[in-house]
Chain A
Amino acid sequence: DQQVKQNSPSLSVQEGRISILNCDYTNSMFDYFLWYKKYPAEGPTFLISISSIKDKNEDGRFTVFLNKSAKHLSLHIVPSQPGDSAVYFCAASGTASNTGKLIFGQGTTLQVKP
């Protein structure tokens, strides 16, 4: 039972355009969501997060949108750069337990073409 789903395995965009990565979840107890970026042969690095009390969080070129009624979040990267080419994972957590446990999606491979 996949509680966090990234239905697009890959995405290709031109440099300078917008990249939109999508993520759906099923568990209504999730109240915190994170995006991680991973280069080959490296560990994931934290990118941006959002609490369920918000519907948008912005950090430079990265914006995460949360639609709780649809159980959907998206990561927007504007403008996209070749260095953004990586695998992006969304993750969800129920913070009530405070264990830090994250449920990850399958990942989306983003390719930004020069």
Chain B
Amino acid sequence: DVKVTQSSRYLVKRTGEKVFLECVQDMDHENMFWYRQDPGLGLRLIYFSYDVKMKEKGDIPEGYSVSREKKERFSLILESASTNQTSMYLCASFDPGRPSYEQYFGPGTRLTVT
């Protein structure tokens, strides 16, 4: 079973703080993703990575950066948190070699910025 874990389930931060969200997967998947989920907007892609140290911007990268120093770990960084970044953050991993083409998601981090 693929397991994707996220460092925190709930997080409360102040405006202007630097925030790190960590994601780890245990199935040696090449590709990893960060999404945010907001009511009525579905899941929107922030960044994805297709290899160590390789990354691509998604649809809403502004205000975020990412780091992938090891294959199993993909970090999302909010350089200076703002209230409009209050959201549910979801990490996912994907194996291009699998025929099912599904992404595996972590449990999510509910971030509140006050």
Contact = CB atoms under 8 A, between A and B. Distances in A.
Interface in B7-46: 9, 31, 33, 35, 40-45
B108 A34 contact: no
A41 B90 contact: no
Contacts, number: 66
Interface stretch (A13-21, A61-69, A71-79, A100-108): A100-108
Interface string A81-114: 0000000010101010011111011110000000
Contacts of B79: none
A89 B42 contact: yes
B41 A106 contact: yes
B102 interface: yes
Interface residues of B, number: 28
A43 B42 contact: no
B50 interface: yes
Contact of A41 (B48, B100, B102, B110): B110
Contact of A106 (B35, B42, B50, B95): B42
B31 A100 contact: yes
Interface in A20-79: 32, 34, 36, 41-46, 49
In this complex, the member of B45, B101, B104 whose beta carbon has the largest number of chain A beta carbons within 10 angstroms is: B101
B67 to A, nearest CB: 19
Given A9-B40, A99-B31, A106-B40, A43 B105 contact: yes
Contacts of B35: 104
Contact of A45 (B31, B42, B105, B110): B105
